[in-house]
Structure 1
Amino acid sequence: MQDRKVIFSRIQDITEHVKSEKKLRELEKRFRIAFHTSPDAISITKMNGNYVEVNEGFTRLTGYTRKDVIGRSSLDINVWNNPKDRKTLVEGLLKSRQVVNLEADFRMKDGAIKTGLMSANLIHLQGEPHILSITRDITARKKAEEENAKLEAQLRQVYKMEAIGTMAGGIAHDFNNILTIILGNADLAKYVMKEEGPARQYVDKILEASGRAKEMVRQILAFSRQAKLSFVPIKPHMVFTETLKLLRSTIPSSIDIQQEINTLCRAINADPTQLNQVLMNLCANAVHAMDEKGTLTVALQEVQLGQKGTRHKANLQPGFYALLTVADTGKGISPEVKERIFDPFFTTKKVGEGTGMGLSVVHGIVENHGGKISVESTPGKGTTFSIYFPIVEEASAASKDIGKPQYKGDEHILFVDDEEALVELAAEMLQLYGYKVTCKTSSTEALEAFRTAPANFDLVITDQTMPEMSGSELSKQLLNIRPDIPIILCTGYSAKISAEIAEKIGIADYFLKPFDTEKLLRSVRKVLDGME
C-alpha cells in the first residue's frame, strides 16, 4: 500500500438541493413580479421605519420616487398622518407577527391625505427583522361610504318628517275638537255675563290662551308641511313679540335676551305661523352657538333700501322693508361653513343635536315671502342674521270697519259631529241666536233624518272625520237627495279634504276647527244669506 497511489472520491446526491434552489429562485422571481406589478403600495422597511424597497404601486400612490424614500424613515418623510398608527402597527407585529386590515390616513408627497387599508407581516432578511406591508387605497370607497351614510341619514329624516306629519294630523284633529269646546263654552260664559268684573276677565284669559293654543296647532301642521299657508297683511311686531314671550320660557336663563322691537313698523304680507317659525329657528341656532351662555339680540325696524350703503346688503329692489335681525355673541361661523349654512341637511352639530334643516327652512320661508336673508359673522365674536320683508301698502293692511255683523236667524239647522260635547255646545250657540237645531252624533243617523224630511232643514253643518261615514261622503248623499241644500263642512284636520275639494263636491262653505261662536255664526249667515 505504501507504493500505491490511492484516489478517494465522494459522491453526494444534491438533486433535492438543486431542486430546492431552483424552486426558491422561482419563488423569488414570482415574488419580484408580484411585488413590482401589484397596483397596491408594497414596501419593505426595517423596524425603525427605514425603507429598504418599494414598488411602483407605492410611488404611484404616494407621489414619492424610490430615490426619495430608500434609506429614509417613514416618520422622517411624514408619511403617517397620525404617527400613533405606526406605533399600533409595530406593536401588533411584535405581538402576533401579523397585522390585518389596519385602517390609517397617509400623507402624500403633495400634502394630500388618503386613507389606506394596510396588512403587514414580520419577515427576516439576512437575519434581521423587517416589515413587509401592503396598503390599498380606499379613499374613494370611504368617501362613497360617507356619502351613502349621509343619504341614509337624509332618508331617515324624510321618513321621520312623514311620521311627524301623520302624527301631527291626528293630534290636530283631536286637539282642535277640544279647543272648540273650550272656546265655545268660554264664549257662552261671556255671553251670559251682563256686567264687567273679575269673572269676565278670567274668561278673556281663557279665550286668549285658547287662541295661542290654536296657533300652536297651526305651527305643528306647518312644521310637518300639512297646513295651508295663509298670507295676510300683518304687523310683524305682533308676531315676533308673541314668539319672544314663548321663547323666554324655553331659552336658558343664562341667555340674556335683548329686544329692540319697533312697534311702528308697517305691515308685511306674511303667514303668521311661518314668521313664528323663522324667529324660533334662528333663536334656537343662536342659543346653540353660544353654548347656552351669552346675549341674544332680536331687533325689528323699518328701513328704506336704495339709499347709499343699503341696497347691496341683500340684493333687493329699492323700497321699504321690515328688517328683522337676530344677533348672538357665540363662536361665529367660519367662511367655509358660511357658504353652506342654508343647504338642506347641512349641519355642524353632533349626531342627535340637529338635522341640518333649521336654516334651510328659514331660507325657504323668507324666499316664499319675497324677502331676503343675509348673514354676517366673525369667528369668535358672534353672528348676525338679517331678514328683509317687503312692506305692503298701508291700505292693504288697514282693517275694514264693516260694522257689527247680524248673526241672528230662525232657520232649521242639522248639526252633525261624533263628538257629543261639541254637538251640545254648537246647539247651545245656535239656539242662543234663535236657530232651531237638530243634532246627530252619527252620520248615518243624520242621513236617515234628512232622508225622512229633506224639506225640513235649511242648512246642514257636518264634521269631516266620523267613524261610519265621512262628512264629505255624507254631503254627497245629502246633495243627491236635495241638490239645493246648503252644507257647511268643518274639520279638526283631514288630509282627504280641502276647501277646493269641498267646493267641487258642492259644499257651500268649509272651515277648520277650532271655531268660536262668531266664526260659526258668520259662516252660517254667509251661507244662508247667499242662498236667498
Structure 2
Amino acid sequence: IVSCTPVFNKRGQLEKIIHISTDITGLKKIEVALRESQERYQIAVSSSKSGAWEINVQTGKVYMDHSFTKFYGYTEKELENLEQLFGLLDSQERNEANQFIEQFAKGEVEENSFIYHIHRKDGAIAWFQTNGILVRDETGQPLRIVGISRDITEQKRAEKEMAALQEQLQQSQRMEAIGRLAGGIAHDFNNLLTIIQGNCELSLNILPEKDPLKANIEEISLSAERAATLTRQLLAFSRRQLMEMKVMDLNMTLHNLDKMLRRVIGEDIELITILAKDLGKIKADQGQIEQVIMNLILNARDAMPRGGSLIMETSNFELDEHYVQAHINVAPGQYVLLSISDTGCGMTPDIKEKIFDPFFTTKGKGTGLGLSTVYGIVKQTGGSISVYSEPSKGTTFKIYLPRIDEPFQKEKKQKMKESMSGGGETVLIVEDDDMVRKLAVRILQQRGYKIIEAENPKQALSLCKKQSGKIDLILTDVVMPSMSGNELVKKIKKIRPEIKVLYMSGYPDNSFNHHAFLEKGINYIQKPFSTANLAQKIRKVLDK
C-alpha cells in the first residue's frame, strides 16, 4: 500500500510530497487464509447439514446463516427474531426453547442443548439438535448465545424405523413363545380328550337305551367335543395344524361364501365385494382359509352393532425390498392380497397390539381365539397379516398369501367301503400314552383286528424283528420320547417295506414339513378321534 501526503510552504505553495509505502504481503496472506477458512467452514457446515446461529439475549435479535433458509424453507426476513422462530415450534417445545434461552440469559449455564422439530414451509417435518454456548460482555454479564443446529431428520427417521422393527420383533417372539406353549397344551389335551371321547363312545355302545347313565355320558361327550374345538383353535394359532394344501382361486372361495356371509352379518350391514379379474392363484387349505374369512367377518360384524359397511377386496400385490425391510418375517415377492375393511368402532393402539394374543377379547363373550386362529393359519400358509385401525373410524385387515403359478388339481373322489370292520389284519399300535394306546387297542379289537402294542419306538422295532407273521399296518403317534413317529417308520420300512402306515397326532412335530404333510399322501388321523373315525381310517389305509 502507498500513501501520499503533500507538504505546503507558508505561501501555500506545494513544496514536497511525502510517500509512505507499507508492505501488506502478510495482511493479504491473512485475508486469503481467512477467505479460504470461511469457504471451508461453509462447505463443512453445508455437508454436515448444520447451521450457525446467534441470539442477542439483551435485544432478542437473531442471526442465522444462510443454511437455515434451506433447512426451514423460510426467507431470512421470516427468521429475524425469537417470536418468529418460536412460532415454528409446538407448545411443548416452545416452552423448552424459552427455558433454553432463559437459562443463558440469567447466566445459569455456560452451554446447553436440546432437540426440537419444526414444520417446514412446505409442510414437511424436520428435526434438529441445537448446541449453544454463552458469550459474556467485559463486565461478565450475559451478552449473546452462539451455537450450531444440526439437521437430524434422517437419524430420527432411522430411529423410528428401528423402533418399529424392534417392536415387531418383540411381538413376533412373544407370539412364538405363546404359540409353543399353546401347542404343547393342545397336544396334552388332545390325548386326554381322545381318552374321554373314546370311552364315552364305547360306553354308549353297550348301554341300554333307557339307562339313566346314558344322558350323563352323552353330556360328557358333548363337552369333550367343545373342548376339542378349543384345542383345534390353539393348534391353528401355534401353527402346528396339519393342512391339506391345494391350489385355490380366492375369488371363487369368496363367491361361494357370499350368501352365507350375508346371512351372518345381518341386513343392517352392507357387504361390498371387489374382486380383481386377473387374480393369481394361492396354495392353501380350503377349510382353513374359509375359517380365516369367517372369523374376520364376525369380528367386523361385532364392531358395527348399529350397522355400517363391510368391504372385501382382492388384488395382486408385490411386496418389495423396501416393505420387507420395514416388516419382520416377510419375504419379497408376488402375493395375493385379501383386504377386509369395516366402518366400525376401530381400536386404540394398545388394544391393536394384543388382538392376536390367544384368549384376549374386548367383547365380554367368546373364547378370544378368533383372531389368534386367523394369525396362525395365515402364518402357517406362508403369508403375513397386518391391521390398520383408528378409534371411531374402522379397521382394515390385510392378508398377503404367496401367489403361485401351478395348475388346479382335479378332485379325486374315493368310494368308502360301508364296512369299517377288520378282516383279521394285524395292526401294530405305537403310543407312549398308556390310556390312549389301550383305548385304540380296545376299539380295533372290537372291529376284528389282531393287535400288537408297543409303548415306545424301541419296543416297536424289537417286536417288528421278532414277529414272524405279517404286520399289515402300523398306527403310530407322531411325537414320542427318544424318537419321532416319522423316524420310527423309516426304520421299520427297512425291515418290512410292505407295511402300511397311519399316523395319529395331537400336533405334528418338526420331523414333518407342515405344509407338505398331506400333499405327499401321508395318512394321518387327528386327535381326538372317535371310534368310528379311527375304524374308518384304518380300513381306508388298508384298502388302498
After TM superposition, the score normalised by the length of structure 2 is 0.63
Does structure 1 residue 105 correspond to structure 2 residue 114? no
Gap regions ≥5 residues in structure 2: 1-30, 247-252, 270-283, 316-338, 358-369, 382-387, 400-409
Would you say 1:205 and 2:229 are equivalent positions? no
State the SS of the aligned residue for 2:163.
helix
Residue 510 of structure 2: aligned partner = 495
Give 1:479 shift: 2.7
Helix, strand or coil for the counterpart of 1:159? helix
- Residue 47 of structure 1 corresponds to 57
**Map 1:341-380 → 2, pairs under 5 A:** 348-349=349-350, 352-353=353-354, 380=392
| C-alpha RMSD of matched pairs (Å) | 5.2
Shift of 1:418: 0.7
Change (3 A) 1:527 1:54: closer
Q: Which residue of 1 aligns with 2:534?
A: 520
* Shift of residue 145, structure 1, vs aligned partner: 0.9
1:203-244 deviation digits (Å, cap 9, x = unpaired): 333333333333333333333433243489999699989xx9
- 1:358 positional shift: 6.5
- For residues 184 and 242 of structure 2, the distance between their equivalents in structure 1, rounded to whole angstroms, comes to 16
Structure ranking higher on relative contact order (CA contacts 8 Å, 6+ apart): 2
Q: CA deviation at 1:444?
A: 1.7
- Call closer, same or farther: CA 1:498–1:97 in 2, change over 3 Å: closer
Alpha-carbon shift at residue 517 of structure 1 (Å):
0.6
1:33-70 C-alpha deviation (Å, 9 max, x unpaired): 89866342222223378334222233332233434433
Query: Cα 1:49–1:207, aligned 2, differ >3 Å: closer, same or farther?
Result: farther
71, 80, 96: which one pairs with 1:85? 96
- The structural deviation recorded for 1:139 is 0.8
1:95 CA displacement: 6.3
Q: Say if 1:462 and 1:490, in contact at 8 Å, map to a contact too.
A: yes
Distance in 1 (CA, whole Å) between partners of 2:396 and 2:167 is 29
Aligned residues: 429
Please identify, of 517-526 and 165-174, the stretch whose mean Cα deviation from structure 2 is larger. 165-174
Residues 430 and 437, structure 2, Cα contact 8 Å, conserved in 1: yes
Which amino acid in the other structure matches residue 108 of structure 2? Answer: S
Alignment partner of 1:465 is 2:479: yes
Structure 2 Cα separation of the partners of residues 66 and 353 of structure 1: 49
Q: Alpha-carbon deviations, 1:59-110, whole Å to 9, x = none?
A: 332233434433x334477233332222231244336324533011124344
SS, match of residue 45 in structure 1: strand
How far has the Cα of 1:142 moved from its partner? 0.3
C-alpha spacing 1:239/1:315, structure 2 compared with 1 (3 Å): closer
The residue type equivalent to 2:66 in the other structure is E
Q: Is residue 243–residue 518 contact of structure 2 (8 Å, CA) maintained in 1?
A: no
Contact (CA 8 Å) 2:457, 2:488: kept in 1 or not? yes
Q: Distance in 1 between matches of 2:171 and 2:70?
A: 41
Distance 1:88 1:167, change over 3 A: same
| Secondary structure of the corresponding residue to residue 462 of structure 1 | strand
Matched with 1:122 is 134
- List per-residue Cα deviations over 1:281-301 (Å, max 9, x = no partner): 5655787xx7xxx8276999x
Q: 1:444 aligns to what SS in structure 2?
A: helix
2:440 matched residue in structure 1: 426
TM-score when normalising by structure 1: 0.64
Report the counterpart of residue 182 of structure 1 in structure 2: 196
Identify the residue that residue 209 of structure 2 maps to in structure 1: 195
Q: Is the 8 A contact 1:463 1:491 kept in 2?
A: yes
Q: Which residue of 2 aligns with 1:478?
A: 492
Between the aligned partners of 2:305 and 2:194, the Cα distance in structure 1 is 40
Specify the SS of the correspondent of 1:425: helix
CA 1:276 to 1:314, structure 2 compared with 1: closer, same or farther past 3 Å?
closer
Deviation at 1:426, TM superposition (A): 1.1
Q: Does residue 138 of the first structure (1) align with residue 148 of the second (2)? A: no
Range that drifts further, 176-185 or 417-426: 176-185
Indicate how the Cα distance of structure 1 residues 68 and 471 shifts in structure 2: closer, same or farther if over 3 A, else same: closer
- The offset of 1:417, in angstroms, is 0.8
CA distance in 2, matches of 1:448, 1:462: 15
Confirm whether residue 330 of structure 1 aligns to residue 342 of structure 2.
no
Paired residues of 1:92 and 1:99 also in contact (CA < 8 A): no
Counterpart-to-counterpart distance in 2, 1:315 and 1:36:
54
Matches within 5 A, 1:220-369: 220-230=234-244, 271-281=286-296, 295=305, 314=313, 329-330=344-345, 348-349=349-350, 352-353=353-354
| Secondary structure at 2:428 match in 1 | strand
Q: Distance in 2 between matches of 1:178 and 1:286?
A: 35
Deviates more, 1:42-51 or 1:269-278: 269-278
